[in-house]
Structure 1
Amino acid sequence: MQAANWIDRAIGYVAPAAALRRVQARTQIARIARTRALYEAASAGRRTHGWRSVGTDANAETRIAAAKLRDVSRDMVRNNPFAFRTKSVIANNVVGAGIIPAVKAARQQRADKIKELLDQHFDSTDIDADGRLNLYGLQWLAMATIVESGEVLIRKRIRRPEDGLALPFQIQILEPDFLDSSVDGALSNGNFAVQGVEFDQRGKRVAYYLFDEHPGATIVGSRSSFKGKRVSADFVLHVCRVDRPGQVRGVSWFAPVILRMRDFADYTDAQLMRQKIAACFAAFITGSSFDDGLDDDQDTRSSGGYPLETLEPGIIERLGEGETVTFASPPTTQDFAPYASVTLHEIAAGLGIPYEVLTGDLSGVNFSSGRMGWLEFARAIDTYRWNMLIPQMMGPLGRWTAEAAAVVTGSSEPFRMVWTPPRREMIDQSTEIKSAVSKIRAGLNSRSDEVRMLGYDPEKVDAEIAADNERADRMGLVLDSDPRRNNAQGQAQPEPSLAA
């Protein structure tokens, strides 16, 4: 405890308890100061000056910045090739050709009937309220919107039987601009809202406040002239990456690199302009007054005529006295490549994708480094799929499908939908297949799981193999690729009935 000073002693004669509290308080302050000194980043000084160290929660941050970041990110995607590639690359790898459903039910007849309905509805544009994409195109659009805008809304639209759909509902992909962020705070029904999302007293999402149209589509009026309508959470999915506990709204994935991308684009344009200007000047001539015999009202592009107002390759400009010719020395760009490499590596790190994927530059890649980069990216892709897109979008879509199927089939017999992501491209096919076979034979993984990791439905693969074998037997075909007939070395296998 801190030693008492003369003020403490003086107070102690009159109010001993107050003096004790003063000493204890000064002791606690000193202890906190010593603790802060253990962490350099928590100290106050020149090196930490300028840090915006605020204690706001995730929603306070998104309330202020999310809309601006969203608009800037869209501008970048429209005009910056690296931003456009980032959006496409992440969506292409997470969704690819589509995250496909498989149906599990107690009765195979029930599973087959549901699968038939899914094929009719999901594989066509019937699922899209806008009539443009099938389910897998909508998955890609949702994922691309998440990357660009930080979040996406998916609205369920109920349809009538006379609309002729296999399942009586459609889904509509909406940008987050449709959320009325002005609905914020305590509500009259006792619930509370966070930027357009309503929660009940238990913290469960119960509704979203949505505009009838995109606020940016209105020519007359302003955002303030609209009021979002309350839509039950049973009809809306809100998909975003959750970066902090309690976070409600998403933030554009470009947020950490927006300034870097803008600075790099400006620097690239400045280098290009520098080279273009340098290329326009070939030589400078200095000499006595020059008269080419032309009238003053004609453009002579010399010191005796109109001043130089335009630049083009091959210009020779006369400057005045003397007859000296000085040829231009164009600036070099030798410092551009190192700067570009460092900056693009920073941008790639901020976006969570490999540098080679961002730039398409494979010049410094060998098999080992390429595989290491791809494995890290593959882990990120799995995270986006299994921790965000599948639980927030595909799982609820499965519930909507079950409700619609009960209406169509007249049966509430349960079934389950299992989602299989697209197959992963192999870097070294022969090596990776041998590894998968070894894991299956050693009991470290099932054949079904290995098939799923390739992006296929195990039941469908088994059915196709059985059909191929049956057809080959019926036609009397003995194929070298048939493991029932030949082993991996091409030697004939014994008949199953004779095997020991």
Structure 2
Amino acid sequence: MDLDTLSSRGFIIDGQPLTPMTSYDAASQGRRLKGWAPGSAGPTRAVVSQLSTVRARSRDAARNNGWIANAIGNWVSNEVGAGIKPRSKSPDKAFAEAANKLWDEFTAEADYDGVLDVYGLMALAVRGRKEAGEMFVRIRHLELGSGTAVPVQFQLIESEQVPHTHHEQRPDTEIIAGVEFNKNTGKRTQYWMYRRHPSDMAQSSMELIPVPAAEVIHHFAPLRAGQVRGMAETVQALVKARDFDEYDDAELVRKKTRANYTGVIKRDAFEESDYQYDPFTGDPIDNSTGSPVVGMEPGTFPALLPGEDITLFDGDQGGGYGDFMRQQLMGIAASFGMPYELVSGDMGKVNDRILRAILNEYRRRIEQYQWLYTIPQLCQRMWEAVIDAGVLAGRLKVSDYATNRKAHVATDWRPHAWRYLHPVQDAQGELMLIKGGLGSRAAAAAERGYDVEDIDEQNRIDTERAASKGLRYSHDPVQEEAEDPAPSE
């Protein structure tokens, strides 16, 4: 066996392989992959070097591309819905009840710009993360007596307002992509922001102001450790979505133009007198303008003259167009991490069992974003700012808040509940889990976005009201317990 054969099989001679060995096909420099030479940029450089272009294209696609717009809107409606709502888990019951009431009072006046309530801010922040890669929320502390439930509000700041091109080295700190870090600890200390959006008509100054990191919520989903800024979550879908949209538009124009022509007229030979008539309509030409008396319309048939023959165009069925559309939309949907059926609205090839499996997988992904990014980054920070302001303003009182703050700001977050896909089967399944001891009413209610104590109170009120009016409904917990007592041992 020759040396080349031995070397190709991984044998080492005199301590060195005769030819470079490649343990992974993806590292091959052969004919197939020699043109694949990606850079090795770090987590922040990879983002900020192309952020302006990708972000601008993503925003343009969200405005003008129906598939991208629908995908973003669908994601936001599933991740936030009508709001991710909190309930205090403070060990002090009176404090917890007061905190819940204060939050409910605060929700309508949460927006510093006075446009949205707190749940609208959550939805817009998540939309900004999907569309531009990130959203900043500035915690605005107000003066006591400002007229709000608590002296704090939230202002959403778009990604462009924190310049990713702002870098600076200082004695004790460094500014990277608009974010200032302590050199010793590596902690974020400040965010550098324009007073207004740099591309807005109202912008009159390009002055940068530092905002303490404690007063800024930076909502984004990092893909690599140490990543400072967020990248638009549409990035993998943008190229295909744009090409597909242009193709679809071109196909529509082609069919629209083709619809104007039904056929052609053939003649063995033309004479000079023939040119006095419009070849499409057979009508005389207006010699003063050279235009036909009758304009062409879709489905027009030319009038035949002696010696003429007509040939009709074949119907344009667009063979394979539907399958091609479906395949391209599947690629766009996969780039978004969403089911094709939700991006396209096409439910023609799924039944309820397949749809259930599709939605279960999609909802697992949504829940990952809810519990790993949106709730800890955004929702909890908002809640803590409100509770802190409530304590400082004297709206909330508990003796050990300063020493036991973590316990008092602990929160049970309830995302907007998923609708039952099959209400009867799903409800029966939950009842079986509860009766079998594998679940609780409290957990089932929380999964539906409700508080079991609120449900019990509502049931008590309903039961008392029905009893006072002499009414009996099919479900009466008190009556059922009286008629079906627990078996004695």
Contact 2:196–2:203 (Cα < 8 Å) also in 1 = no
- Counterpart residue number, 1:14: none
- Matches for 1:187-206 after TM superposition, within 5 Å: 188-200=170-182, 201-206=184-189
RMSD of Structure 2 on Structure 1 (CA):
3.0
Q: CA deviation at 1:397?
A: 1.2
Alignment partner of 1:62 out of 47, 56, 63: 47
Q: Deviations over 1:99-141 (max 9, x none)?
A: 111123333322222222211111x1x1111111111111111
Structure 2 counterpart of 1:82, which letter?
A: W
1:398 aligns to 2:383 (yes or no): yes
1:299 aligns to 2:290 (yes or no): yes
Give the Cα–Cα distance (whole angstroms) in 1 for the partners of residues 159 and 29 of structure 2.
39
- Counterpart residue number, 1:180: 163
Q: CA deviation at 1:30?
A: 5.7
- Counterpart residue number, 2:9: none
SS at structure 2 position matched to 1:486: helix
Give the Cα–Cα distance (whole angstroms) in 2 for the partners of residues 479 and 424 of structure 1.
28
Contact 1:155–1:172 (Cα < 8 Å) also in 2 = yes
Aligned-pair identity (%):
28
Contact 1:154–1:171 (Cα < 8 Å) also in 2 = yes
Give the Cα–Cα distance (whole angstroms) in 2 for the partners of residues 258 and 311 of structure 1.
39
- Counterpart residue number, 2:423: 429
Alignment partner of 1:80 out of 60, 65, 79: 65
1:278 aligns to 2:272 (yes or no): no
Answer with 107-116 or 420-429: which moved more: 107-116
SS at structure 2 position matched to 1:242: coil
Q: CA deviation at 1:165?
A: 0.4
Contact 2:418–2:448 (Cα < 8 Å) also in 1 = yes
- Counterpart residue number, 1:338: 323
Contact 1:128–1:134 (Cα < 8 Å) also in 2 = yes
Q: Deviations over 1:356-387 (max 9, x none)?
A: 11111111111111000000111011011100
1:142 aligns to 2:125 (yes or no): yes
Structure 1 counterpart of 2:232, which letter?
A: S
> TM-score scaled by structure 2?
0.86
Q: Deviations over 1:295-353 (max 9, x none)?
A: 64323449xxxxx9x974245689x9973433233533122111101111111111011
Q: CA deviation at 1:412?
A: 5.3
- Counterpart residue number, 2:7: none
Structure 2 counterpart of 1:240, which letter?
A: F
Give the Cα–Cα distance (whole angstroms) in 2 for the partners of residues 471 and 104 of structure 1.
31
Q: Which structure shows the bigger proportion of residues in helix conformation?
A: 1
Unaligned runs of 5+ in 2: 4-11, 278-283, 402-407
Give the Cα–Cα distance (whole angstroms) in 2 for the partners of residues 95 and 381 of structure 1.
9
Give the Cα–Cα distance (whole angstroms) in 2 for the partners of residues 314 and 298 of structure 1.
25
Q: Deviations over 1:138-178 (max 9, x none)?
A: 11111111111111011111122332100111101121111
Contact 1:180–1:227 (Cα < 8 Å) also in 2 = no
Unaligned runs of 5+ in 1: 4-23, 303-307
Q: CA deviation at 1:283?
A: 2.6
Alignment partner of 2:242 out of 246, 262, 275: 262
Contact 2:264–2:310 (Cα < 8 Å) also in 1 = yes
SS at structure 2 position matched to 1:102: strand
- Matches for 1:326-475 after TM superposition, within 5 Å: 326-409=311-394, 411=397, 413=399, 414=401, 415-416=408-409, 417-472=411-466
Over 6 Å off, 4+ runs: none
Give the Cα–Cα distance (whole angstroms) in 1 for the partners of residues 230 and 285 of structure 2.
68
Give the Cα–Cα distance (whole angstroms) in 2 for the partners of residues 94 and 134 of structure 1.
17
Give the Cα–Cα distance (whole angstroms) in 2 for the partners of residues 106 and 129 of structure 1.
31
Answer with 341-350 or 425-434: which moved more: 425-434
Give the Cα–Cα distance (whole angstroms) in 1 for the partners of residues 296 and 35 of structure 2.
44
Structure 2 counterpart of 1:68, which letter?
A: T
Contact 2:286–2:292 (Cα < 8 Å) also in 1 = no
Q: 1:27 to 1:402 in 2, by over 3 A?
A: farther
Q: CA deviation at 1:294?
A: 4.9
Q: CA deviation at 1:54?
A: 2.1
Larger RCO: 1 or 2 (CA < 8 Å, sep 6+): 2
Count of residues in correspondence between the two structures? 458
Contact 1:422–1:456 (Cα < 8 Å) also in 2 = no
Give the Cα–Cα distance (whole angstroms) in 2 for the partners of residues 29 and 119 of structure 1.
71
- Counterpart residue number, 1:19: none
> TM-score scaled by structure 1?
0.84
Q: 1:470 to 1:104 in 2, by over 3 A?
A: farther
Contact 1:479–1:485 (Cα < 8 Å) also in 2 = no
Q: CA deviation at 1:233?
A: 0.7
Structure 2 counterpart of 1:392, which letter?
A: Q
Give the Cα–Cα distance (whole angstroms) in 2 for the partners of residues 365 and 405 of structure 1.
51
Contact 1:279–1:330 (Cα < 8 Å) also in 2 = no
Give the Cα–Cα distance (whole angstroms) in 2 for the partners of residues 371 and 400 of structure 1.
39
